[in-house]
Amino acid sequence: MNHDDILQTHLQTESKMDELKNVFQTLEMMNKKLIESERSKSHFLALVRNEFNNPLIGMGSLLKHLYHSLKSKGGEDFELFHLAYLDLLKLNFQLSNIVSAAEVETSIMEKNITFFNISAMLEDIDNALLFLLYNRAVKITKNVKCSVSIHNDRDKIHAILLNLLANAYEYTLIGSEISIEIFEDDKKLYIVIRNVGTDIKDKKSIFDPFYQQQMGFTRVHKGLGLGLSVTKAYIDFLGGKIFITRDNDANVFIAQLPIYNNDEQISFGDELDGFIFD
């Protein structure tokens, strides 16, 4: 190899190294952008929580009162109001999931164990999901076989039930049947929701945020795709599990949650050896 060849090879190697450096720099920049974008997203979700949720809760309770008042009087005004009310419920539902996702992602979840009535909660959820049941002729059967009042995290159980039911209502076939079973077994609370619908192919991704079975131009179902990710995060947080199985022509969502006897206790600590780290 003569001097010129060596020089040529050296120049080529240098040029390739420069190229590689550029690729690394671009990668580093992309990585930085990705981290920044994730941070902005979490920040945005936290802002939504503060700025949107409170006015909507206020408006919701006022309109609920007005809804019942106008319903008893009937008339054309009520029909128009009814449609507006359904839109408000839809908005409230979507926003509550954005808020819940923000709470999960900003690590501000708290476990608040209280005593509450699960049957009353189911009724409340039916009212909140009127927008999904309107004109759908879906038959719903409910079977609550546990104590009517239970100790658990009320708000999180509410969100779990709300989203599992919303998912069943949204994806069930018009005129078909949905069954909701809640029961206790071996110190666990089970929520089993069965709805007739197409087979869920990707049972894992369904819990990813913004994932929907049909996306882009083939998307036929509404919603943000946040509900089941919130459900999974809350179930995990409460120390439970969720499974999806197929039963003939139906999808069955089974949530298993711990049952608390009363306000959660720290169950060990008195019989331990101790050591202090200054």
Partner 1 sequence: MIEQKIIYSEQLHVAVNPTEIITILGSCVAVCLYDKKKKISGMNHYLLPLWNGEGLKSPKFGNISTERLIEAMEAVGADLRRIEAKIFGGAALNISEGHSVGPRNIQVAIDTLRAYRIPIVVQDVGGNKGRKIFFSNEDGSVYVKYSK
Residues 27/33/38/41 CA torsion (nearest 10 deg):
-150
3-state DSSP assignment of residue 43: helix
* Closer Cβ to partner 1, 100 or 172, answer by number: 100
196 CB contacts (<8 Å, ≥6 apart)?
172, 173, 176, 177, 178, 249, 250
DSSP class of residue 202?
-
* Closer Cβ to partner 1, 103 or 194, answer by number: 103
* Closer Cβ to partner 1, 166 or 230, answer by number: 230
Q: Closest separation between CB of residue 261 and partner 1, Å?
A: 16
* Closer Cβ to partner 1, 98 or 180, answer by number: 98
Q: Closest separation between CB of residue 137 and partner 1, Å?
A: 34
252 CB contacts (<8 Å, ≥6 apart)?
192, 193, 194, 244, 245, 246
Give the footprint of partner 1 on this chain (CB under 8 A): 38, 42, 101, 104-107, 109-111, 204-205, 207-209, 229-230, 232-233, 236-237, 239, 264, 266, 268-269, 271-278
Which amino acid is located at 260 in the chain? Y
Q: Closest separation between CB of residue 36 and partner 1, Å?
A: 14
Q: Closest separation between CB of residue 96 and partner 1, Å?
A: 15
Q: Closest separation between CB of residue 159 and partner 1, Å?
A: 13
Instruction: Copy the structure tokens of residue 188.
Output: 């666990």
* Closer Cβ to partner 1, 51 or 271, answer by number: 271
Torsion angles phi and psi, residue 97, rounded to 5: -75, -35
